[in-house]
C-alpha cells in the first residue's frame, strides 16, 4: 500500500462544531454511568465518572473564559485548551475526547492514517464501516462526497443493521472495511475475520484496531463478557497481528505518529496506539 503525502488529514469536514451541546452530552452520559456503576457496586467507576465531570467543568471554564487554543480537532475543527477525558467501565482516559464532535483520540489518529496511507477517502473506493461513531461517519461521507460508503451495526447507530459474522454484502465488494474496536466484542472472531476476507476485493484492506495488552504475548479469552473491561469477550495480547494473518491477510502495523511532526501529535491529540492494515491475499 503506497503512502500518500497529502496534507488533507488536517482538513475540517464539519464547520459547525457544538462544544456546548457536546459538554452537556458528556455530563449526561457520565451521570448515567455513575448511577449505574453504583447500582452494580462498582464504586471505583463511579468515582472516575465524578472526577471526569469535575475535570470537564475546569476545562470548560478555561475554554470559555481564558480562550486558550492549545489543541485542535482534525475531525471537526474545534479548538480549546485541551481535549476532555473519556470514562467508562474499566478506563479513565485523559486528554481524549473532543467536545465539538465527540470523536476520540483514536479516530483523530485514524483520519491521519487513512489520508496518509490509503485512498480510503476517494469517492471511487467502496468502503464498509462497522459500528461507526456518528460524527466520524459524517466525516467519511463528506470526504467521500456521499459516495461508496456504507456502515452497519448490530444494535447502535449506523446506516444499516447487520452482524459482522454474517454480513449480507456480496463477495469481493469492498476496497476497504473499517473495523475499529469491534473484534474484542465478537465471540466468534474467526468467523468475523472470514467474513471480512470474503467481502473485501482481492488486494483490498481491512483497517483494524483493538485494545491490546502489550505486557502479554498471548490473547486471553474471557469465559463471559467482562463487565469490568467494557464487556469485552477477550483481552488481546501482542499476538493480534498473527491472529489476523492466519485468516488470509498480510498485516502491516502503522501509526499516526510515524507520519506527522511531534508537535502535531500534541496539537491534534493523536493516539500513539498502532493501527493494522490487513490486506487480503
| pLDDT tens figures, 222-272 | 999 999 999 999 999 999 999 999 999 999 999 999 989 999 999 999 999
Are the C-beta atoms of residues 85 and 107 closer than 8 Å to each other?
A: no
Q: How confident is the model at residue 146 (pLDDT cuts 50, 70, 90)?
A: very high
Task: Judge contact between 75 and 98, C-beta under 8 A.
Answer: yes
- Give the pLDDT band of residue 1 (cuts 50, 70, 90): very low
Q: Are residues 84 and 123 in the same domain?
A: no
Q: List the beta bridge partners of residue 153.
A: 161
Count of all residues that appear for the chain in the document: 281
pLDDT at 6: 46
Domain that holds residue 140: 105-280
Question: What is the rounded distance in angstroms from the CA atom of residue 193 to the CA atom of residue 174?
Answer: 14
Same domain for 143 and 29: no
Q: What is the pLDDT of residue 73?
A: 96
Q: Read off the C-alpha cell for 43.
A: 464504586
pTM: 0.93
The number of beta carbons lying within 10 Å of the beta carbon of residue 215 is 7
Report pLDDT digits (tens) over 108-145. 999 999 999 999 999 999 999 999 999 999 999 999 99
Nearest residue to 243 via CA among 203, 206, 204: 206
**With 70 as the cut, is the pLDDT of residue 96 above it?**
yes
Last residue within a domain, chosen from 54, 75, 97: 97
Same domain, yes or no, for 186 and 254? yes
Please give the Cα distance from 229 to 211 (Å, whole number).
10
Same domain (yes/no): 118, 211: yes
Q: Are 131 and 153 in contact (CB under 8 A)?
A: yes
Amino acid at each position: 500500500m503506497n503512502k500518500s503525502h497529502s496534507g488533507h488529514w488536517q482538513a475540517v469536514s464539519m464547520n459547525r462544531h457544538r462544544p456546548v451541546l457536546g459538554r452537556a452530552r458528556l455530563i449526561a452520559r457520565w451521570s448515567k454511568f455513575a448511577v449505574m456503576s453504583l447500582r452494580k457496586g462498582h464504586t471505583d467507576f463511579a468515582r472516575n465518572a465524578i472526577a471526569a465531570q469535575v475535570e470537564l467543568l475546569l476545562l470548560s471554564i478555561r475554554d470559555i473564559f481564558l480562550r486558550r487554543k492549545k489543541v485542535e480537532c482534525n475531525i471537526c475543527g474545534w479548538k480549546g485548551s485541551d481535549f476532555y477525558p473519556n470514562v467508562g467501565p474499566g478506563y479513565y482516559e485523559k486528554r481524549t475526547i473532543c467536545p465539538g464532535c465527540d470523536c476520540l483520540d483514536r479516530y483523530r489518529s485514524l483520519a491521519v492514517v487513512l489520508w496518509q496511507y490509503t485512498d480510503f477517502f476517494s469517492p471511487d473506493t467502496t468502503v464498509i464501516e462497522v459500528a461507526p461513531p456518528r460524527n466520524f461517519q459524517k466525516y467519511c461521507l463528506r470526504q467521500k462526497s456521499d459516495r461508496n460508503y456504507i456502515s452497519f451495526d448490530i444494535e447502535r447507530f449506523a446506516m444499516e443493521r447487520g452482524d459482522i459474522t454474517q454480513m449480507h454484502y456480496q463477495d469481493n465488494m469492498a476496497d476497504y472495511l473499517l473495523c475499529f474496536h469491534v473484534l474484542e466484542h465478537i465471540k466468534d472472531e474467526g468467523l468475523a475475520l472470514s467474513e471480512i476476507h470474503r467481502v473485501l476485493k482481492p488486494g483490498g484492506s481491512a483497517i483494524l484496531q483493538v485494545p491490546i495488552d502489550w505486557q502479554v504475548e498471548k490473547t486471553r479469552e474471557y469465559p463471559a463478557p467482562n463487565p469490568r473491561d467494557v464487556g469485552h469477550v477477550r483481552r488481546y495480547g501482542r499476538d493480534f497481528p498473527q491472529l489476523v494473518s492466519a485468516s488470509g491477510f498480510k498485516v502491516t502495523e502503522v501509526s499516526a505518529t510515524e507520519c506527522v511532526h511531534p508537535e502535531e501529535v500534541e496539537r491534534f491529540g493523536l493516539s500513539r496506539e498502532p493501527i493494522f492494515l490487513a490486506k487480503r491475499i
